[in-house]
Amino acid sequence: MDNVANEGQETMFQFRLMTVADIPDVMEIEHEAFTLPWTEEAFHNELKHNHFAKYMVMELDGTAIGYAGMWTIMDEAHITNIAVRKAYQGRKLGEKLLDELMKTAAYLGMERMTLEVRVSNVVAQNLYQKKGFESAGLRKGYYSDNGEDAMIMWAVLPPAGRSGEEEGSVMDS
């Protein structure tokens, strides 16, 4: 568990594996965060059928306020989504989600991590750069809602300990 200051008081939040029961909350977050949200069916498929998929939920006082996902293939992790409820944005919680996702990927043996981000999303690009991601090119017309290009970014992950004692880390089940 981690602490976060919330209007002068300490509030507890934690990370855990996403389950099918989380999909309604995740859909709310998805629609708040993205102009091109995933469908419920997509999340069902990810959780039930994609053995490369790893998704986590960030809870604040027992309520889902964010989630993140990745695919782990060979020694590479591909971030699929990171999102925080609109009411909690601007509190560096997306950064905490990214930290947890990177830590989990390293724990699972991933050596590198990649993602796509809208070229117009400078805030996200700055966060990714802060965490060691570097631009590696563009995917032209990647986003189907407006044809916007996606910047491809890569980071090398630091090796993680294998003791299983990383507090708050989501372990592979």
Q: Is residue 116 flagged as an active site residue?
A: yes
| 97 in Cβ contact with 82 (< 8 Å) | yes
Nearest to 170 by CA among 84, 43, 77, 45: 77
For residue 1, the SS3 value is: coil
Asked whether residue 97 is assigned to any structural domain, the reply reads yes
**Which pLDDT tens digit goes with each residue over 49-62?**
999 999 999 999 88
Asked whether residue 6 is assigned to any structural domain, the reply reads no
Residue 128 pLDDT exceeds 90: yes
| Helix H or strand E segment including 156 | strand 150-156
Parallel/antiparallel/unpaired status of strands 76-84 and 112-118? parallel
Residue 80 belongs to a domain with what CATH number? 3.40.630.30
**Which pLDDT tens digit goes with each residue over 69-126?**
999 999 999 999 999 999 999 899 999 999 999 999 999 999 999 999 999 999 999 9
Range of the domain at 40: 14-156
* Spatial distance between the Cα atoms of 132 and 113, rounded to a whole number of angstroms: 10
Task: Check residue 160 and give its pLDDT.
Answer: 74
Q: Please tell me which residue in 116, 142, 143, 148 is annotated as part of the active site.
A: 116
Judged on CB neighbours under 10 Å (0-12, 13-18, 19+), 159 is exposed
Asked whether residue 8 is assigned to any structural domain, the reply reads no
Q: Please tell me which residue in 55, 67, 88, 128 is annotated as part of the active site.
A: 128
Q: How many domains does the chain have?
A: 1
Task: Check residue 161 and give its pLDDT.
Answer: 61
Residue 165 pLDDT exceeds 60: no
Asked whether residue 95 is assigned to any structural domain, the reply reads yes
Q: Is residue 165 flagged as an active site residue?
A: no
Asked whether residue 48 is assigned to any structural domain, the reply reads yes
